[in-house]
Homo-oligomer: A and B are copies of this chain.
């Protein structure tokens, strides 16, 4: 029996506002022997994602909150190192939701086999080819119903979801792609490498004024990762019958008390807008299409991606806090 000691990161206390390192605790536990039908997996990469902030609060949400003392759940990708399940032999690359631990163990059904990717890191299954990529795809196809010729605005454009949204939208026929990000480094990268037509640095001035200027012809679709003032700005410039896919509101996650919303919701009636919140888990019917379509774009070299890689499982809390502060370009992952 090897690797029966698992290093895991638990929720130690619930954060007030921005999470701090003290909210997490690293523990080591001895795993029991495998039962029939179980596998043991050595994770290579684990995922830190904005939605996890919601689960750290005790409040009811679309997914249950983490319990105190529970290991931080989330995406992980690794290799089977011991197996009592014929369908997942030792050596298989798998992804799971087992989260922040170096060794994961459970029923084979909790792990999805993934083809090894030639020349690229398996961490892509946590990003472009995983949940964030599927989120971008579902939001554009299923929620915002992006059409040929649409002008799109996406906030949080340098993030894992946002950078996929901008590229997918262009490949789906958008005529113009506008993004927002929080540094000059990010805005330049999005324009140079990701093919955005215009990128607003929201730290340089009010997003509302900047977007009105950048999108003087209006936008058809807004993909919202940020909420708050970004949503307000988008409502101003959406064209009649515009559509908004609401995916997240990272600007609001660490508020200690609720903030007033946009002052221009009257635009929803005036311009007959549709706003729809979604989570990717409700739309897994797009998964096969996503894997086919985006897989093909990827093989054709039509998609760029970046990762921000932090090394060491015990650094996951720091990576997560950095993510919430906008310290990532592209997908933030932790290399175990």
Contact = CB atoms under 8 A, between A and B. Distances in A.
Interface of A: 54, 61-62, 227, 231, 240, 246-249, 252, 258-279, 282
Nearest to A61: B270
User: How many copies are assembled?
Assistant: 2
A236 to B, nearest CB: 11
Residue among A227, A258, A276 having the largest count of chain B Cβ atoms under 10 Å: A276
Contacts of A260: 260-263
A88 B255 CA distance: 64
8 contacts: A54-B270, A61-B270, A247-B269, A260-B260, A261-B263, A261-B264, A272-B279, A273-B277
A277 B282 contact: no
A196 B326 CA distance: 49
Contact of A261 (B248, B262, B273, B278): B262
A118 to B, nearest CB: 36
A247 B270 CA distance: 9
A270 B240 contact: no
Contacts of A276: 268, 272-275
B270 A263 contact: no
A269 B279 contact: yes
Given A62-B270, A274-B275, A275-B275, 12 more contacts: A61-B270, A231-B265, A246-B268, A248-B269, A249-B265, A249-B266, A259-B263, A260-B260, A261-B262, A269-B279, A272-B278, A274-B277
B227 A272 contact: no
